[in-house]
Structure 1
């Protein structure tokens, strides 16, 4: 049984109407009815006749009371057996009725099962029919969707064809317009080139005329320039000879002045230098001295040593002992000869 059929059965029949519960209730009712009938129809023993005691008041002497009638035991037994037969018959009838009720209940249950099966089959058939309808509807929808998509595709293709035709038409119009514009521009360009050639030819003629005029003036200027150059060259040569003579004179003066101040510096260093007793005439220390324009010592360093530390240190001490060196007042002479110079310390040369 499918889930849908179970759902239909469970929701369509109340729990108290289920076949099992009805069968149990029916059996219970049958038993109760049987017991009640048996208790109602059971023969009751006949009550014993009442004995009435009376006393006759008379003048006659009292008579003895009559004896109670005797019950026939055989008749009583017969009645009891008859009652038992009736009870047994009723019991059998009740059993038959119960069996008939049970059979009827079974038939009802079977009928109910048959109806439920038919109901389930009907539900399944309805479900299958719904499924077929759903599939048919889906197929119809798919077919409609395919038809719609086909129509849309055809409409789109038609629109694209129209758009392509419109594009080609516009492209042809654009190309025609561009061709017309190109021809117009080409004519304008050719006219511009013609005017430009005429202008260039006119400019060329004017330039040629200007060139000839310029060449004439240039030749005149060159002749004048040659004459001027000759004059300037002669004057420059004269100035050069004069400057050379002045430079030679100044050089001689500077050399003479430098020699004089070098002699003064050597003299002062000679007096300030105290070589060690171990000094020999072969020892020589070369120092590089840097001075300021004021004659003050800027720096001193040993360029070439004598081989004796004491000899070298004595030369350095002699240079450092002078607070100011004699220097010329001419800045040119100072920069050329005394800004930086070397001097040799030798016992023979420093005498």
Structure 2
């Protein structure tokens, strides 16, 4: 709120207070006169109090006007000071705003410069990246060609190696087949030779079977009541000299007397001397331990 709005009420209040003070002063000083002797020669003068009150009121008004003018001038000085302060404040605000604006402009310029440098670095980095990628692609292409050449070389070497292995394998298989054929032929020859030798041995051994049965038949004493349909098998063990070592019944005739007769017949022979003429291999194979089957009708009485 402006200070001028309080000026007029303040002036009237001051005037009113001054009037009240003057009236109180007059009533205060207008006391009853003391009882004293009045000199004989008194000069009296008539005073007009209404004129005096008007004069005092004029003085009060003059003082009030002077004070109002002083207050007005003080108010004007205050307004001027406020105006100067406001102007100074506005100038300071403008200076600060200009400074802030300059700082903001400098900041924006710095940001723009920073962005420009960053963009420049980015472009340079992108250029270097593209250059590196191009170099890498070229290097990769060279490396790819080298690897392809190396792979082709290795493939050719591998193909040659496989061909050599295949050829060597075929040769090895051919040698193996030839060796197998040779071994088969040798085996066939050996088997044929062995078969011939075995047959010869069998025949040689078979030629002594009749001799053995003949000697046993001669020494067999047939018990009464022996039937022709019976069959008996004997297991006989011999030494290379033809001597009987052991004789056992492997298949009984069903009659213990006939079994005992067969065992005693072999024991009576005791030695098959002609077996000494056999080859030891043939003897070991056929007569070291052998089995003979007898029927009563085979025996000579």
- What TM-score does the superposition give when structure 2 sets the normalisation length? 0.43
- What TM-score does the superposition give when structure 1 sets the normalisation length? 0.38
